[in-house]
Amino acid sequence: MNNLCVAHRGFSGKAPENTMAAFRMAIAEPYVQWMEIDTQLTIDGIPVVIHDFSLDRTTNGSGKVKDYTWQQLLRLDAGSWKGRAFHGERIPSLDEVLRLSCGRMRLNIELKTSGNMYPGLEYAVIERIASYHMEKDIVLTSFDEGALRRVKEIHPELATGLIIDARPKDLVERLQSLECSFLSIGYSHPDYELVAKLKEAGITTMAWTVDDARRMKRLANISPEILICTNRPDIWKKTFI
């Protein structure tokens, strides 16, 4: 299958992002090969799946994720903002998402961190991945180069990828110095020359976040190997199947 479909935070066009409802909806579609999820740490060291550093946009809580325990986060509603049908959806732990995905779905796990915001995040995430023997089905990505270096120190065989919404001239060299085999890049930046260069260096390209058929087709014309990260797997299906 060309231009593999990556469900961004699950099937987040229809269900609340980064919830079990969104993940189940994505997994139910046989053409979805990958899911992209985000992980942070609770104050008691549990990896949880949520995008924003703050709770305000996607839950009925407020303040920073890192200031709450796992038990406190469990009490929050992470679904009602998307619609009444999703009332009571919770912030999932990484553990729950790995258990659901194991043997069924590959995961792009973004390490949501900056500097020393989450000491121990990489270790906690890798420990959970190893417990499900999912090392071959996962790529760990981040905007934070320090986080990617720490992953390689802990587990050199794990695939890692830089996230970037730009196209610096030394991009391929930067990826090689970080030992990345994956690039997560804003959809407007890839062109034939860049993708060919990345392929030659053994680096997989994923473009984000693409929710309309015209942009999906533009990427497909550049290369059938670009992964397409989308909130709308249903639009991907109409475009490619």
Among 51, 87, 133, 155, the one annotated catalytic:
51
Question: Which residue in 3, 14, 66, 34 sits closest to 215, CA to CA?
Answer: 3
- Respond yes or no: is residue 133 known to be catalytic: no
> Would strands 182-186 and 204-208 be described as parallel, antiparallel, or unpaired?
parallel
Which amino acid, one-letter code, is at 114? S
How many residues does this entry show for the chain? 241
For residue 16, what are its two tokens? Answer: 């609340």
Beta-carbon contacts of residue 210 (< 8 Å; ≥ 6 apart): 187, 216, 219, 228, 229, 230
Cβ contacts of residue 34 below 8 Å, gap of 6+? 4, 5, 6, 7, 105, 106, 107, 108, 227
Residue 51 is a catalytic residue: yes
Burial pattern 123-144, b for ≥16 Cβ within 10 A else e, equals: bbbbebbeeeebeebbbbbbbb
Active site residues: 8, 51
